Amino acid sequence: MKYVSTRGQAPVLEFEDVMLSGLARDGGLYVPETWPTFSAEQIAALRGCSYQEIAFQVMFPFVSSSIDETEFKELINEAYSGFSHRAVAPLVQMDDNLWLLELFHGPTLAFKDFAMQILGLLMDRALIKRGERATILGATSGDTGGAAIEAFRGREQIDIFILHPSGRVSDVQRRQMTTAQEKNVFNIALEGTFDDCQAMVKAMFNDHEFRDGMKVTGVNSINWARIMAQIVYYFTAAVALGSPNRPLSFAVPTGNFGDVFAGFVAHKMGLPIEKFVVATNVNDILVRTLETGTYKPDGVMATYSPSMDIQVSSNFERLMFEMAGRDATRVSALMSDLSTKGEFQLSENELAPMRDLFIGMRIDEDETVSRIAAEYEDNDYVIDPHSAIALEAGARCSGRAKDVPMIALATAHPAKFPDVVTKATGVEVAQPARLIAQLKSEERVSQLPNDLATISQFIADKTRASKVA
Ligand SMILES: *Cc1c(COP(=O)(O)O)cnc(C)c1O
């Protein structure tokens, strides 16, 4: 499988180079040249298979030029062995035709582990094979950082630098990142918002001299390998509920559009998905875009669901590329409008197919709290605020998405957001043992200003990658 950039000016690459480069050199995002497809018979054959077996079937077409079958199977088994549920991604019924897909049984209790665990192994393998080192640079609104650090801590070939918006991630999220004691882990608390962190990382990626000198790579969801790993649980959930014979819909709590784009890929690959509910908190750029066709970032508001406090949704560019008929010139023009005018306007031709498949739904703070409370009262089940947004949005859209099962994605364990969960339910959230152990150690973090020169210098001073010939 070869990969092309959404802006058409970067070299066409194989999987391993796409994974190691993160962002394409023209500022675009890599996508597969073609989508592999599964026939109805092939989908039916996945029924009853383990998560790991389905993961292999779904992902292998994307990586087959870079890794052989046996080795890939071994990596998959290792990646998901640290999950604390045998089914890896179990489904729970919440109401008639309404289901929750629990994606929080990984080592950092958020769905980011699904992609990060396999990415850590794939990157390490590729770098060892090449005798190279790399500098991982990432921005986090909370969960990506913890999951990335967990996956890359102590890896000899890699130094990892994670920027988080100072004071804007939950206590648990911060401690999950900053308590790693390994010398290859660097936490930067940036004085700014998540979008500032993301802009900073983008700026360093676009500085080719810096990027090449420090062997910089990214593990944000701009990295195709992240998206690829997230396609899998759409398949496992769908076949568990009767696909390919029975269509279904998903409600996805959305920030960077990575997770819902992975669902879109599953749809492209042949899963009979009726609708995706794009569920946001009050930072609702995607809902507004679906309504008006105008993509216009606004100020970011801090909410109970910090992992979705995003106004620049980087993976949306991958969807635009598809909706514009893979016209990279058109995508480049829209993205250039965004940087010069602060917004862009989608055409009716691009919007119509988007609206066929995606329903935007904004859930505010009170509605989030009410949903957490209602699940506790009615179902004796404690959910986190991100999952509550998905569940509330999914429940509201079940009717509009016809008479098919609605699966809401539960992206984090409630113990990661104890304050709002306790506020909603009146009970203390039990902390899983792995979290208690993780949170005891001392914190390691550098507080730095929102200034490109300062951050670049910090990284240049600390990374080992630039010192290797
Ligand atoms: C990252 C994250 C999201 C948003 O996922 P995107 O791929 O950025 O849309 C939702 N919920 C939780 C708990 C997250 O960590």
Active-site positions? 112
Q: pLDDT tens, 341-394?
A: 999 999 999 999 999 999 999 999 999 999 999 999 999 999 999 999 999 999
Domain count, the chain: 1
Mean pLDDT, rounded, of the chain: 94
Tell me the chain's radius of gyration from C-alpha atoms: 21
pLDDT level of residue 73 (50, 70, 90 thresholds): very high
Specify if 362 maps to a domain. yes
**Quick check: CB of 255 below 6 Å from ligand 1?**
yes
Q: pLDDT tens, 128-179?
A: 999 999 999 999 877 889 999 999 999 989 999 999 999 988 888 899 999 9
Cβ neighbours for 304, distance < 8 A, ≥ 6 positions apart? 281, 365, 368, 369, 385, 417, 420
Report CA(255)–ligand 1 centroid distance (Å): 6
Residue 89 three-state SS: coil
Residue 343 three-state SS: coil
Q: What pTM was estimated for this model as a whole?
A: 0.94
Q: Residue 380: which region, alpha, beta or left (left: phi > 0; alpha: psi -120 to 50)?
A: left
Specify if 63 maps to a domain. no
Specify if 308 maps to a domain. yes
Report CA(310)–ligand 1 centroid distance (Å): 10
Domain containing 341: what range? 86-110+226-425
**Quick check: CB of 386 below 6 Å from ligand 1?**
yes
pLDDT average, residue stretch 329-351: 97
Residue nearest to atom 2 of ligand 1 (CA): 307
Choose which residue among 307, 319, 392 to substitute to test ligand 1 binding: the one with the highest number of ligand atoms within 8 A of its C-beta: 307
Residue 154: predicted pLDDT? 92
Specify if 397 maps to a domain. yes
**Quick check: CB of 309 below 6 Å from ligand 1?**
no
The whole-angstrom separation of Cα 267 and Cα 269 is 5
Residue 467: predicted pLDDT? 61
49 CA to centre of own chain:
25
Residue 400: predicted pLDDT? 58
Specify if 214 maps to a domain. no
Residue 169: predicted pLDDT? 86
Specify if 2 maps to a domain. no
Q: What is the CATH number of the domain that holds 338?
A: 3.40.50.1100
The whole-angstrom separation of Cα 361 and Cα 234 is 20
**Quick check: CB of 307 below 6 Å from ligand 1?**
yes
Specify if 251 maps to a domain. yes
Report CA(143)–ligand 1 centroid distance (Å): 8
Q: Which of 18-27, 184-193, 418-427 has the lowest mean pLDDT?
A: 18-27
Q: pLDDT tens, 278-289?
A: 999 999 999 999
**Quick check: CB of 303 below 6 Å from ligand 1?**
no
Q: pLDDT tens, 422-462?
A: 999 999 999 998 888 877 889 999 999 999 999 999 999 99
Specify if 101 maps to a domain. yes
* Higher-confidence position of 208 and 253: 253
Q: Is the pLDDT of residue 299 over 70?
A: yes
| Atom in ligand 1 nearest the alpha carbon of residue 253 | 10
Residue 402: predicted pLDDT? 59
**Quick check: CB of 257 below 6 Å from ligand 1?**
yes
Residue 469: predicted pLDDT? 39
**Quick check: CB of 4 below 6 Å from ligand 1?**
no
Residue nearest to atom 1 of ligand 1 (CA): 307
Residue 59: predicted pLDDT? 98
Report CA(361)–ligand 1 centroid distance (Å): 15
Report CA(115)–ligand 1 centroid distance (Å): 12
First to last CA, the chain: 30
